[in-house]
Chain A
Amino acid sequence: MVGRLPRDPAPWGERRDRALGNSVLRGNIRSVTRRLADARRRAYASYPASQVLRVAGRDAKRRAVARVEPLLDELRDRLAANGARVIFAEGPKEVADYVVSLAARRGAKRVVKSKSMLTEELDLNRRLAVAGLAVRETDLGEYIIQLLDEHPSHILAPAAHRNRQEIHALFQETAEREGVPGPTSDDVGPLTAFARQRLREDFLAADIGITGANFLVAETGTIVLVTNEGNADMVASLPPVHVVIAGIDKVLDTWADLAAVIQQPALSGVGQRLSAYTTLISGPRAAGSPEGPEELHVLLVDNGRRQLVDGPYADVLTCIRCGACYNVCPVYRQVGGHAYGSTYAGPIGAVETPLLAGLDFLPELPKSLCTLCNACVEACPMDIALADHFITLRRRQVGEGREAAGTRLTYRAWGRLWSSPRQYQRFVSWARRGQRFMMRQGRLVRSPGLWAGWFETRDMPPIAPETFHEWWARRAPSGKTPS
């Protein structure tokens, strides 16, 4: 079953140029990615257990993906025994329909949410708003972009593309609209205090709380939530109904497997040994307790995941959404998340999006948003073979005739020309003769014909007066060329 993901209607070229022309976005993305990548490196270097833990966590995730169906059955039975209702949902419509009818049954109007990439993927907020529900995002960054009617630009820092002044103006405007005092300045403290105050009221008034899940433990029927702000704890323990919406890829086999992987989101994501709040939920409110929801609903969502379980891309399902690959990716660091055009960005997004939604969905992602530099592979705590997947996806795109005919013929002709040493050398000597018309300050800056586009944003060193091949031929008396 192919998944359905939201997409930016703008074509790739427009999304790219919009991102490259936005200096606030580029400056902020540059600093947030550098900060997070450095924090991760420092945390790993200063933590003797880091590598052993990482490998144990990776193996736990791989084992779970390999046995996902029996584990999901076990999880469902265990959660049901703990008093939760468990629903298998195919995609966006089924999930939204379930929440809307639950809200109707409960007479619920107000929904609070903690950060969830899956509900972004399902475009859930829009669907719930259409049904008349008031949905409030409560992660600070998500709150900001919800007020702006935007999407996250970074998986861990959704509002990374906005600066303090913009956020201050936004909060001022919100305060005026809602008739409350605005933030006292554009410093982070007053801005955060304003959000805390506004959102606290929403937490206490909400009828339904929606969270995602970082992990689901089949053995015990436990939902694990990881945050630094504490908002997921509010969402899960204040409203009378808690709805968990999680991908089927979140399941783990045992409690011991949870112990192996529980530190990874924080360690690889932000360079902490554990997040400020790691919350384990195993059922609705216990008898006699005033806390926690009366009803706990757990939706286990496919949306294109099941089709990957038995194939060569199964390791993509072990992703824990830590964002480590985003932070080291030279493409992501230039363009940020919006240019990718759907929910997931960075290397994992460029690979996973077409895998979930079909190879015709945003085909530019594997093709144009990767330099094959391998930085993501080194950063990924789950050892997902991202670079290999980029190559296979490109090969499939070409093999299935998804390339334009002109491009295909050009590459074929070029390949033929350069695959014979003699023809390559002849090409080089022509180019050397012609290049003096294409130079500026000792660099090649222009080219005729097919290569012109390459020089629009780059230059390169000129072809040397004597190439290594020529030098070798001149000094080796036999005249043999090196092989």
Chain B
Amino acid sequence: MIGPGLSPLLQAFRARWEALGGHYWESVSGPGLTETLAAAADSLIDRVPGQTSSALWWPGPAWASLAWEAALPPDRWTVTPVTGREPLVLSGRPMDPSALRSAAASAALGVTGAAWAVADTGSVALTSAPGQGLWPSLLPPSHLIVLQEAQVVATVADGLRRMRDEGPPPAMAKIISGPSSTADIEGQLWIGVHGPGRVGVVVVAGAGAD
């Protein structure tokens, strides 16, 4: 936890993200970050005693060197990393798309980076890019996002402008505002229908690795 000096933008983001049901952590980069990530991962899943849980870690270029898996207790977690660009590398081998899909579909937790986040709506945007995919944010029941404080902008329009300034839009991008939800049965809100029912961010304070 960082405490004082939190920017008003980040405070606003946090308030809205949490109001939507998102989980929130802060850290500075360094050893504190890997520990925070490991703790966040642990708290976002339902643990089955005696079984290991699997995480799909597809960080994208910005966090590729963040070796946080070491902070997870190996008797409780198996982490499948996706690294590289073309070709992608899945657990140390050239990626086979169907193996990646199965890994995403069976993982308890997906962990990704982010493109930008919006204070006004409590949203986080993710983009597909060479070396950065979206399945970990969709298929597992829980999703953890590593976000840099500098990626938080004020409004959706600011975020979209930032995306546009970087060139043509990617094949797919998505803006996530809270967990997957439905009110289709008798109007009762239910969390986690198709996408993740639990979403969390770890905000890395200060200047980012961008």
Contact = CB atoms under 8 A, between A and B. Distances in A.
B133 A289 contact: yes
Given A229-B194, A280-B169, A283-B171, A140 B164 contact: no
B5 to A, nearest CB: 26
A134 interface: no
Contacts of B100: 290
Interface of A: 28, 31-32, 35, 49, 82, 138-141, 144, 157-160, 163-164, 167, 188-189, 191-192, 195-196, 199-200, 203-204, 220, 222, 228-231, 233-234, 236-238, 255-256, 258-260, 262-263, 270, 272-292
- Counting from the closest, the 9 A-B pairs by CB-CB distance are A230-B195, A141-B184, A290-B97, A288-B86, A259-B157, A140-B184, A230-B180, A278-B175, A230-B194
B78 interface: no
A139 B87 CA distance: 34
A285 to B, nearest CB: 6
Contact of B184 (A82, A144, A196): A144
Interface of B: 16, 20, 85-88, 95, 97, 100-101, 105, 118, 120-123, 128-130, 133-135, 138, 155-157, 160-161, 164, 168-188, 190, 192-196
B135 A279 contact: no
A291 B129 CA distance: 10
A279 B172 contact: yes
18 contacts: A82-B168, A144-B184, A192-B190, A196-B192, A228-B180, A228-B181, A229-B181, A229-B195, A234-B195, A256-B157, A259-B157, A273-B177, A276-B179, A288-B86, A290-B95, A291-B128, A291-B172, A292-B128
Which of A28, A230, A238 is packed against the most chain B CB atoms within 10 Å? A230
A157 B156 CA distance: 26
A139 B160 CA distance: 27
A276 B183 contact: no
Contacts of A237: 134-135, 138, 172
A195 B173 contact: no
B85 A280 contact: no
Which of B20, B134, B156, B183 is packed against the most chain A CB atoms within 10 Å? B183
Given A233-B174, A259-B161, A192 B185 contact: yes
Given A231-B194, A278-B123, A288-B85, 9 more contacts: A192-B192, A196-B192, A200-B105, A237-B138, A259-B161, A275-B177, A282-B173, A290-B88, A291-B135
A69 to B, nearest CB: 24
A138 to B, nearest CB: 7
Nearest to A140: B184
Which of B95, B100, B169, B184 is packed against the most chain A CB atoms within 10 Å? B184
